[in-house]
Amino acid sequence: APPPRQEYLSAHGGFTNAFTATEDTNVYFEVDAGALRGALERFSHFFKTPLFSEGATDRELRAVDSENTNNLQADKWRLYQLEKATANPAHPYHKFSTGNLKTLGKPGLREALLAFHDRYYTTPLMKLVVTGREDLDTLERWVAEDFLGVKGGAADTPPAKHLYGVPMHRPEDLGRRVLAVPVKERRSIDLAFPVPLWDTPEAGRYAKPTNYLCHLIGHEGPGSLHALLNKRGWINGLTAGSAFRGDEGAVVKVGMSLTESGMEHLEEVLDLVWEKINMVREMVATAPQQWVFEEMAAMASFQFRFREQGDPSGFASGLSGQLDNGYPPEEVFSGPSQFDDWRPDVLQKFAAALTPANCQLQVVSSSFREQAAAEGWAEEHWYGTQHKLVPFTAEEAARWGGGPRGHPELALPGPNDFIPRDFSLRCDTDAGAAAAAAAAADADAAEAEAEREAPPTLVVAGAGRNATDAAAGMEVWAKLDRTFRVPKATLVLHLGCGQDGWYASPWAMSAARLYTKMLKEELKEYAYDARVAGLRWSVTAEPEGLQLLVSGYSDKLPVLARRVAQAFRQVLDRCAALEGPAPAEGEGGPEAAARRKARAQFEKHRQAMLKDYANFEVEASYQRAMYYARLALEQDAWHISEYAAAVRSPRCTPAAVARTAAAVLGRTQARAFVHGNAGGAEAAALAAEVAAALRLEEAAPLPEGEAKEWRRGALPA
């Protein structure tokens, strides 16, 4: 039978989970609000009087071993352990990260667990967060009553901070490439740089040095490293950020997923990466830009101010970890969002760490398999990952560390035009909304709740299909938010198709997916600033049609929504013009160069889809089982091999995708829903602009009875 704690949580709509990171363990639970008191009492017993019974210990041991077995062919775990294996052998980070039956299944395991619990599960080393609907005095009293028996500190209690006395990386562990062979079809590079900590005000806690540097290196707008590499068809994505933070240091990473062409031009990719890093390093050393810091501070401030509630367990779990990061109690919530200290000296110290001598470069490629077999590459001890260590040559170190050379297509980002300025709430400023709010305030609680739960309003009926209609035949629903009271809104647009639409054949659905990938490609540079400023957009291809979602701060949301809608038709027109082979390299003028670029981008996405389909064969067994269960339940489902055949076919060209997309979008059922900080008139106006950009007046209406229906079957008992 489950332990009383788990039994109680299950009976009250709850759950419990835990994870162990490099330097801490985080245990959390969630339960129905009315059952918090009982759950908290049961939760406390694990820390006061754990059983660690022989049966439970054995079950957990086998669960750990089973999880490790499932991860043996997972590149995420294999490459993570390879990072650890190539660190300083004298540092704990070098060790095996998860454990298995061989490392843990030894005599005296229960006694070892009890001794570990007795040493580390003590009040000086623990942080507790409780979130509930009760007042703070009540929650504090419950904690005092339930956790009174947790062991306090003793003479042998370890220090709260982990101090190892040796660096995580020695000089000989850096300044080199780590070549690795993945299980799946994969090509990627990661540049890892050990950097100092910034955990005190003196060290730069409020200067946020890694945020500043990674914002500039990882930017995806015009003039960025991402834009240049993407334009050349060499990457699928780029990231820059803090990858590890411990008590004695941190690691910053710049990572890229490469295309086949990118792997073929690996040395050129690396030269451009270092060019961008050197550009940022030189700027910080000679003329640090305070306006960049102030812009980041403004965005962090309003994003904290208007942060919405997440799930309680995620909030409590995250905050408990944050309590260990050194912020004073009054800044536990706001500390990570505080950019209060412009410190060029701190930036210069961190930027100085971004050098070839302080870098470990991991290069992962399926193309290494034959070379690894022929040369007999080493195998990592725990996962067997084939790898080879290659120190940077003197010429590479000099070239990459020699400063920027002024590449004409690389520049630092300019000001972000998507930063919102208007945070007013329509429910307070709109006359009709204010009257409704006043009426709700005079009503009793039940009436107020009913008003909040009122369904959306149909603001445009969508009848007819001519240019004089407000939204060109689009049906528009709207609901003004009066509950959450944040200056944000969401637009959801559904372009429904018929039975002969996107799911009519494997080719049609493949065309839809390629079309949405090209859409995202079209807007990647433009929409990056919007994403940084708290706006999001997505487009998904579903059997029933295309769904567009734009969300974020209502002040700038219409600007992004209009541009996304314009891109729908621009991508169609551009793909339609790519009939026939692309011009040869060096042939023609700017128009021919643009055609070559567009064909290369299309081919990048086609190859990425084929890679994903090929990788399906090496997914974990449970993932494949879930896939086949879905196939058995869904009506008219296409198999992944049929999609792969469609994408691999010579028929798969940009012009063919455009023809298919134009035919499906030419008969559509358009519905929009606007929710949040937007009134009915604003919703109708926004929908009209989006409809005009989509040229919906040119589309034929799709009769209600012809809309695609999605059905699932029930297996016989």
What tens digit of pLDDT does each residue of 632-663 get?
A: 888 778 999 999 999 999 999 999 999 999 99
Rg (CA), the chain: 28
pLDDT above 90 for 155: no
Beta bridge partners of 362: 178, 190
Question: What are 505-553's pLDDT values in tens digits?
Answer: 999 999 999 999 999 999 999 999 999 999 999 999 988 899 999 999 9
Please tell me if the domain spanning 5-147 has the same topology as the one spanning 173-305+341-401: yes
When pLDDT is cut at 50, 70 and 90, the band that residue 608 belongs to is very high
CA-based max dimension of the chain: 82
What percent of the chain lies above the pLDDT cut of 90?
70
SS3 content of the chain, % helix, strand, coil (to 5): 50, 15, 35
Question: Rounded to 5 degrees, what are φ and ψ at 685?
Answer: -65, -40
Segment 602-628 shows an average pLDDT of 90
Tell me if the domain spanning 456-701 has CATH number 1.10.357.10.
no
pLDDT above 60 for 438: no
Nearest by Cα to 382 from 161, 631, 84? 84
Kindly provide the b/e burial profile for residues 666-698, where b requires at least 16 CB atoms within 10 angstroms of the residue's own CB. ebbbbbbbbbbbbbbebbbbbbbbbbbbbebbe
* d(C-alpha 258, C-alpha 255), whole Å: 10
Quick one: CA dihedral 132, 134, 136, 140, positive or negative? Answer: negative
pLDDT for res 245? 86
Give the position of tokens 């559509």: 668
Full DSSP string of 345-396: HHHHHHHTT-SGGG-EEEEEEGGGHHHHHHHT-EE-TTT--EEEEEEPPHHH
pLDDT for res 86? 97
* d(C-alpha 568, C-alpha 573), whole Å: 9
pLDDT above 60 for 282: yes
* d(C-alpha 519, C-alpha 522), whole Å: 5
- Is residue 512 within 8 A of residue 399, CB to CB? The reply is no
* d(C-alpha 609, C-alpha 643), whole Å: 9
* d(C-alpha 560, C-alpha 117), whole Å: 53
- Is residue 28 within 8 A of residue 16, CB to CB? The reply is yes
When pLDDT is cut at 50, 70 and 90, the band that residue 581 belongs to is confident
Sequence spans of domains, the chain: 5-147, 173-305+341-401, 456-701
Architecture of domain 5-147: 2-Layer Sandwich (3.30)
Question: What are 460-517's pLDDT values in tens digits?
Answer: 776 443 333 445 578 999 999 998 899 999 999 999 998 888 989 999 999 999 999 9
H/E stretch holding 466 reads: none
Q: How many other β-carbons are positioned within 10 Å of the β-carbon of residue 332?
A: 15
* Lowest mean pLDDT, pick from 21-25, 161-165, 417-421, 563-567: 161-165
- Is residue 449 within 8 A of residue 459, CB to CB? The reply is no
The pTM of this model reads 0.89
Beta bridge partners of 257: 188, 237
What percent of the chain lies above the pLDDT cut of 70?
93
Q: Is 99 left (phi over 0), alpha (psi -120 to 50) or beta?
A: left
Amino acid in the structure at residue 678: A
* d(C-alpha 352, C-alpha 358), whole Å: 9
Segment 248-276 shows an average pLDDT of 96
pLDDT for res 440? 55
Beta bridge partners of 387: 180, 378
* Lowest mean pLDDT, pick from 89-98, 169-178, 521-530, 591-600: 591-600
* d(C-alpha 327, C-alpha 331), whole Å: 6
Give the position of tokens 């079309």: 515
Question: Rounded to 5 degrees, what are φ and ψ at 401?
Answer: -100, 10
Torsion angle, alpha carbons of 676, 679, 684, 687, to 10: -20
Pairing mode of beta strands 176-180, 360-365: parallel
Our separate counts of H helices and E strands in the chain read 26, 16
* d(C-alpha 414, C-alpha 408), whole Å: 16
Residue 106's Cβ-count burial label (10 Å; 0-12, 13-18, 19+) is exposed
Helices (H), ranges, 36-187: 36-48, 54-71, 75-85, 101-104, 109-120, 136-146
* Lowest mean pLDDT, pick from 30-34, 227-231, 451-455, 486-490: 451-455
Quick one: CA dihedral 538, 542, 547, 552, positive or negative? Answer: negative
Question: What are 303-359's pLDDT values in tens digits?
Answer: 999 998 888 999 999 999 888 877 888 898 999 999 999 999 999 999 999 999 999
pLDDT for res 432? 52
Residues 6+ apart with CB under 8 A from 417: 529
pLDDT for res 284? 96
When pLDDT is cut at 50, 70 and 90, the band that residue 439 belongs to is low
Question: Rounded to 5 degrees, what are φ and ψ at 495?
Answer: -105, 90
Question: What are 195-215's pLDDT values in tens digits?
Answer: 998 888 888 899 999 999 999
* d(C-alpha 434, C-alpha 657), whole Å: 49
When pLDDT is cut at 50, 70 and 90, the band that residue 448 belongs to is low
* d(C-alpha 686, C-alpha 559), whole Å: 10
- Is residue 498 within 8 A of residue 707, CB to CB? The reply is yes
* Lowest mean pLDDT, pick from 74-78, 252-256, 469-473: 469-473
Residues 6+ apart with CB under 8 A from 222: 411, 525
pLDDT for res 580? 76
Distance of CA 3 to the CA centre of its chain: 35
- Three-state DSSP state, 583: coil
Segment 596-623 shows an average pLDDT of 89
pLDDT for res 444? 57
Architecture of domain 173-305+341-401: 2-Layer Sandwich (3.30)
- Three-state DSSP state, 673: strand
Nearest by Cα to 473 from 674, 702, 706, 696? 696
The length of the chain in residues reads 717
Residues 6+ apart with CB under 8 A from 336: 322
Segment 96-121 shows an average pLDDT of 92
pLDDT for res 465? 38
Segment 378-397 shows an average pLDDT of 97
Distance of CA 156 to the CA centre of its chain: 41
Residues 6+ apart with CB under 8 A from 330: none
Residues 6+ apart with CB under 8 A from 592: 583
Identify the DSSP state of 707.
B
